[in-house]
Amino acid sequence: MRTGTFSTSGTYTPQRNWYALVGWLSLLVYLAYITSLFDLDFDRFISGLDNGSKFLGRMFPPNFTRYELLMEGLFESLQIGVIATFLGVLISLPMGFLAARNLMPPWVTWCARGVIVLCRSFHPVIVAILFVKAVGFGALAGVMALTVASVGFIAKLFAESIEEISLKQIEAVRATGASFPNVILIGVFPQVMGRFTGFISYQLDSNLRNSTMVGLVGAGGIGGTLFAAFQRFDYDFVSAILISIIAVILAGEGVNNIMRRIYR
């Protein structure tokens, strides 16, 4: 990228970066367009800010008096998150193997990959809504929805890490006369396991976050409690719930770090 030219007299004229200029201009034009499209005007914004400050006022101090309800909801969200991750891992292990192009014939991998892509196509909330409509309100829909989301993530990455393994290491293990299970255990597993535990912990974290949300559409967990509080304008309870959610997620990240240290 040329930043400028030198003339024979020894002066330097910096080159104008036309691309950047055009970029900034189009950005400004776009934002102006949006302002009209979204019906934004100054008054609305100010009244919004005013609303906002009132809102914040009602949210603080957070109200923890209904803590039993809070704990129940959190606990259910935790259950949903844990079970969904567990089931997701169970299903993803074989799915990942089936989808690995260096292990399986094309027709198998196409089917497996198709299923995995389908699992990832929709936002977990939408999947949750569909499950709620299908199997009714409650934690079952939440678990099913998050299991689908987990499979979409873990199986995909698992298949990719299997495809990236070095065949040379496997060749050597085969040459010692090892049985097929032993070849998988010593030749394949050490290569993929490090990354695999990473995926699982990431997905557990993601499921815990999402499990707080699927409740908003009736799939169980603290999301339902949150939504109800909102509807009743109990904003101080809302802030209590939000704080607990943040605390739980922080704790989850801490557990994550410990696990990473133990399993190297």
Partner 1 sequence: MTEPSKYQGSEIQSVTDHSLDIRNLTKEYTRGVPVLQSVSVSIEANGITAIIGPSGTGKSTLIRCINRLIDPTEGDILFRGKNLAKLYGRELRFARRHIGMVFQEYNLVERLSVMENVLSGRLGYVSAWRAWMRKFSAGDIERAFSILEQVGMADFANQRADALSGGQRQRVSIARALMQSPALLLADEPTSSLDPRTSVEILELMTNQAKNLEIPVMINIHDVSLAQRFADRVLGMANGKIVFDGSPSELNEEHLKTIYGGQGWMS
Partner 2 sequence: MIIPGSSLEERQWTRFTPLERIFRYAFYVVICSAIVVSLRTIEVIPEFLFDAPAQMVDMLDRMWPPDASYYPETIHDALVETIHIATVGTILAVVLAIPIGVMVAENVTPYKPLNWLARFLLVSSRSINSLVWALLFVAVFGPGPLAGSLAIAFRSIGFVGKLFGEALEEANHSTIEALQATGASKFSIMYMGYWPQVLPTFWSILLFRWDINIRESAVLGLVGAGGIGVALSTALELFYWDRVCMVLISMLVVVAAVELVVTQIRKRII
Q: How far apart are CA 33 and CA 253, in angstroms?
A: 41
Which amino acid would we find at residue 230?
F
Q: Kindly identify the residues of this chain, within the stretch 33-52, that bind partner 2 according to CB under 8 A.
A: 34, 37-40, 44, 48, 51-52
List of residues contacting partner 1 (CB under 8 A): 166, 168-169, 171-179, 181-183, 185-187, 190-191, 193-194
Tokens of 146: 């998050």
134: contact with partner 2 by CB under 8 A: yes
SS (H, E, C) 194-238: HHHHHHHHHHHHHHHHHHHHHHHHCCCCHHHHHHHHHHCCCHHHH
Beta-ladder partners of 39: none
CB 63 within 8 A of CB 235: no
Which member of 111, 172, 250, 251 binds partner 2 (CB under 8 A)?
A: 250
Using rule CB under 8 A, residue 186 touches partner 2: no
Q: Which of 39, 81, 63, 49 is nearest to 248 (CA)?
A: 81
- Interface with partner 2 (CB under 8 A), residue from 62, 104, 198, 230: 230
Taking the CB of residue 183, how many other CB atoms lie within 10 A of it?
18
What is the dihedral sign for C-alpha 201, 202, 203, 209? Answer: positive
CB of 235 to partner 2, least distance (A): 8
Q: Which of 140, 184, 186, 228 binds partner 2 (CB under 8 A)?
A: 140
Q: Is 242 in the site for partner 2 (CB under 8 A)?
A: yes
Q: Does 125 bind partner 2 (CB under 8 A)?
A: yes
Binding residues for partner 2, rule: CB under 8 A, are 27, 30-31, 34, 37-40, 44, 48, 51-52, 55, 76, 78-80, 82-83, 86, 121-123, 125-126, 129-130, 133-136, 138-140, 143-144, 209-210, 212-213, 216-217, 220, 226-227, 230, 242, 245-246, 249-250, 253, 259, 262-263
